[in-house]
Amino acid sequence: MSKETGKALREVSSTIKEKRFPSPSLQSHIQKSKSEGVDLITELEEFSLPLHDLQETMKLFVVASTLCDIVRIVEEISVSVAQLSTKARFENPKSTPTYCDKQRQLATVEPLDNIDQCKDCVVIDVHEQELRI
């Protein structure tokens, strides 16, 4: 969970430093962190200690809760950086491949060429391709 959150923060940092749009890996790292958080909470709920170890159990829940809060905040930061990259018109790659887990397909995102005509929005065309693993 911490490892993926760290990767997400590094991606956010390089996005701002290089003045470019966030890569699709940012969302991947955040989703992995969230998934690990859910798994951690589930394991802690199923984990049972004798009553006299209640204090130790509470410490584990506090740490898990703090980690989940960190993931939530990193996700909020990533959304803000994505908005910043749009409003500041950071460099947008001509074609960015992204992986869609649910459909098991590769989608290609291409920026709108005449973005000056649309000041408050960004239009993205998504072309689906079959992903071969």
Confidence of residue 14 (pLDDT cuts 50, 70, 90): very high
3-class DSSP assignment, residue 113: coil
Query: How many C-alpha atoms does 87 have within 13 Å on its Cβ side?
Result: 6
pLDDT in tens, 84-124: 988 888 877 554 444 444 444 444 444 444 445 545 544 44
Confidence of residue 34 (pLDDT cuts 50, 70, 90): very high
Q: Which H or E run includes 70?
A: helix 54-87
**pTM, full prediction:** 0.63
The alpha carbons of the chain give a radius of gyration, in whole angstroms, of 19
Mean pLDDT score across all residues of the chain? 75
